[in-house]
Amino acid sequence: MARLGIIGAGHVGEIVAYTAALRGGYNEIVLYDIDEKRLDGVVSDLEDANRFYPHDTAFIAGTIEDVAKAKEIVVASGRIPENAQRRDEFKNNHEDVKDYIPKIMAAGFDGVFVVVTNPCDAIAYAVWKYSGLDASRVIGSGTALDSERSQTILARTYGVSVHSVNSMMLGEHGDSQFLPYSQVKINHIPFDQYIEENNLTADKDAIEESVVYRGHRAFFGKGSTQYGIANTVNDILDAVHFDSKKSLQVSALHTGEYGVDDVFVSTPCVIGKDGIEKIITLNLTDEEMEKYRKSAETVRSYQASVE
């Protein structure tokens, strides 16, 4: 039996469950939500597609204790304020994880948390603190989603396939994240060289800004972001569940990398069955290093109230 646990059956939680069922890695998906009516509706709707998943999948409207029996738990609860400001969201979401994470641990959880709830770096820090788990077992979804957005936007800007773009966003999953152009390649060619050789122009700041604020378009347009994050989370889950050692830009506790300590921020990390196996330190320019450290300090300012 492979069980996935999901806390929060909202817009994100339900599509994470659906995507996981379509990928076929789990045969039991347990969701928990304080809104029991919604939870029942979500489970019933997911079940209605039973005939179409690659394997038989049981959807369970569960308790905290049921979720705790999973090997992987996605933290996707949330109380999003109307302005969608991360700082405003922290207070409520911090209170929630402070309440339910110890309950999950008391029920015997011994797996890996994937934290989506925003601000996801500071909430990952809180989940780590309140779980008492080794930090490697807590993965913030971090800038994995933003990195995919950067690939989409660069591919569209330069008329190439998204699969021909190597790019990433680093730092906070929030406004202070940045696009390290020193790491970008298009068709395997370093970005600046690609632009020059093809007589193109690059408004680097504008591209970066459109990635950073990309989420607003979906959120203020339809009230949620779902497909990118659900697939991102499932990529992370796959790496854990199948012990794939894949490297993804996720939020991990730093202990000196880039000169950053005691903060969860994103850099590429190797992910396997026990969570984060290696934090990769990239060869960034001085200016990028400075942005990295500044971004980490922004996250630190959120997490100050985590005991």
Per the annotation, binding residues for NAD(+) are 8-13, 33, 93, 116-118
Residue numbers annotated as active site: 173
**Three-class SS state of 210:** helix
Using CA atoms, how far apart are residues 238 and 25, in angstroms rounded to an integer?
A: 8
Select the residue whose beta carbon is closest to ligand NAD and give its number: 10
Using CA atoms, how far apart are residues 182 and 63, in angstroms rounded to an integer?
A: 46
Residue whose CB is less far from ligand NAD, 186 or 237: 237
Using CA atoms, how far apart are residues 127 and 139, in angstroms rounded to an integer?
A: 10
In the window 60-99, what residues touch ligand NAD (CB under 6 A)? 76-80, 89, 93, 96
What is the contact mask toward ligand NAD in residues 171 to 200, using x (rule: CB under 6 A)?
--x---------------------------
Residue whose CB is less far from ligand NAD, 8 or 111: 8
The single residue among 116, 126, 207, 279 that binds ligand NAD, judged by CB under 6 A, is: 116
State in angstroms the smallest separation of the CB of 150 from ligand NAD.
13
Q: How far is CA 304 from CA 64, 94, 123, 169, in A?
A: 27, 11, 11, 24
Segment interacting with ligand NAD, rule: CB under 6 A, options 33-41, 126-134, 252-260, 262-270:
33-41
| Region for 226 from its dihedrals, namely left if φ exceeds 0, alpha if ψ lies in -120 to 50, beta otherwise | alpha
Q: Could you tell me whether strands 165-166 and 185-186 are parallel, antiparallel, or unpaired per DSSP bridges?
A: antiparallel
Q: Could you tell me how far CA 106 lies from the centroid of its own chain? A: 25
Applying CB under 6 A, the residues found at the interface with ligand NAD are 7-13, 32-35, 38, 76-80, 89, 93, 96, 100, 116-118, 120, 141, 145, 173, 224-225, 229
